[in-house]
């Protein structure tokens, strides 16, 4: 559970552009976690797009 929380935190920091170089290097030093980072990133981007579409739909009514 802690590892998942760390991955989510790293993905969010990377999406906002505030992740340090050291943390990024630590995250991608394990090539097996790369798939986890990729999948979680895709989910967050999908949720962001759906949320923006929902928000625009509410505003334009």
Measured distance CA(38)–CA(11) in Å, rounded: 9
Of residues 3 and 53, which shows the higher confidence score?
A: 53
Q: Mean of the pLDDT values across residues 41-57?
A: 96
pLDDT tens, 1-21?
788 888 888 888 888 888 888
Is the pLDDT score of 38 beyond 80? Answer: yes
H or E element, residue 37:
helix 33-59
Query: Domain-by-domain residue ranges, the chain?
Result: 2-59
What mean pLDDT value characterizes the chain?
87
- Tokens 């949720």 -> residue: 47
Of residues 41 and 3, which shows the higher confidence score?
A: 41
- Neighbouring CB atoms inside 10 A of 13's CB total 15
Give me the pLDDT at residue 56, please. 97
- Neighbouring CB atoms inside 10 A of 27's CB total 20
The token pair at 16 is 């906002």
- Tokens 């990377």 -> residue: 14
């Amino acid at each position: 559970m802690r590892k998942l929380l760390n991955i989510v935190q790293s993905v969010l920091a990377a999406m906002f552009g505030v992740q340090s170089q050291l943390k990024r290097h630590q995250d991608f030093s394990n090539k097996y976690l790369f798939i986890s980072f990729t999948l979680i990133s895709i989910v967050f981007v999908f949720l962001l797009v759906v949320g923006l579409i929902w928000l625009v739909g509410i505003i334009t009514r």
